[in-house]
Chains A and B, each alone.
Chain A
Amino acid sequence: EVQLVQSGAEVKKPGESLKISCKGSGYNFTSYWIAWVRQMPGKGLEWMGIIYPGDSDIRYSPSFQGQVTISADKSISTAYLQWSSLKASDTAMYFCAREEYSNGRSAYYFDYWGQGTLVTVSS
């Protein structure tokens, strides 16, 4: 069974650093892109960026480039999202999602999602 299990909720102060994780199991972790998606309180979904754990190829949304760092450790089937200096506006739920590719339709979509990590940044 494919699973993406994310690290637990975090409460941080502005200016602190943070690294959250997403551990994949039940499939070949190195063969699928993993994306990070932000959902601010009461708002919609925003695609932040994506990593291919097989070779650590990374693509960022321009909205998040320079604001976060995406990485992965394929030896432990885990992807990461990190901040060097959190702001109150980083308060949100963060999801990781596996990107599937349909050969028949030549299309990408997110077929498995983590349970989400709630990050609260408050002084």
Chain B
Amino acid sequence: DIQMTQSPSSLSASVGDRVTITCRASQSISSYLNWYQQKAGKGPKVLIYAASSLQSGVPSRFSGSGSGTDFTLTISSLQPEDFGIYYCQESYSIPWRFGQGTKVEIK
């Protein structure tokens, strides 16, 4: 099975900061990588699919890049509503795997 590793596990940043979260796959997954945001007690919300495609309705401050084994999610200017846990997820081979999550806090 493919293993997904995110870093950092948590971060604290100020409003307006540029934030980057990385996700590494244990083998090449081409561009089959999705990013989700989850807030406490809610189902996740897709932000980016296929590594770099912005889901409809998601603010343009979110962007994704990467291919193969290394991927990044960038928030260009952190907003107060961006707190939560961010997960990457591969859709290269079943069973789909998620990263362990990155908790984003607002300073």
Q: Is B62 an interface residue (CB 8 A)?
A: no
| Contact call B43/A107, Cβ cutoff below 8 A | no
Query: Do residues A113 and B43 form an inter-chain contact, with CB atoms below 8 A?
Result: yes
Tell me the bound Cα distance from A100 to B96 in angstroms.
Answer: 14
> B69 at the A/B interface (Cβ < 8 Å)?
no
Chain B at the A interface: SS class: loop
B56 to chain A, nearest CB (A): 9
- The residues in B between 68 and 89 inclusive whose CB is less than 8 angstroms from any CB of A are 87, 89
Q: B53 touching A105 by the CB < 8 A rule?
A: yes
- Distance of A109 Cα from B90 Cα, bound (Å): 9
Are B44 and A110 closer than 8 Å at their CB atoms? yes
Contacts of A109 in B (CB 8 A): 34, 46, 49-50, 55, 89, 91
A62, B31: Cβ atoms under 8 Å? no
* B31:A107 contact, CB within 8 angstroms: yes
**Interface status of B59 (Cβ within 8 A of chain A):** no
Contact among B31, B42, B49, B94 for A116, CB-based, below 8 A: B42
The count of A-to-B residue pairs whose CB atoms sit within 8 angstroms is 73
Q: Are the C-beta atoms of B100 and A44 separated by less than 8 Å?
A: yes
Report the count of interface residues on B (CB-CB < 8 A).
27
A59 within 8 A of B: yes
Q: With an 8 A cutoff between CB atoms, is B18 at the interface?
A: no
Residues of A within 8 A of B50 (CB): 102, 105-107, 109
What residues of B have a CB within 8 angstroms of the CB of A59 in the complex? 94
Chain B's nearest CB lies how many Å from the CB of A19?
A: 20
Also in contact, A63 and B95, with CB within 8 A (given A105-B31, A111-B55, A113-B44): yes
List B contacts of A60 (CB < 8 A): 95
Q: Closest 8 A-B residue pairs measured CB to CB?
A: A113-B43, A105-B50, A61-B95, A107-B50, A109-B49, A108-B91, A45-B98, A109-B34
Chain B residues near A (Cβ < 8 Å) = 1, 31-32, 34, 36, 38, 41-46, 49-50, 53, 55, 87, 89, 91, 94-101
Binding site for B on A (CB under 8 A): 35, 44-47, 49-50, 59-63, 95, 97, 100, 102, 104-111, 113-116
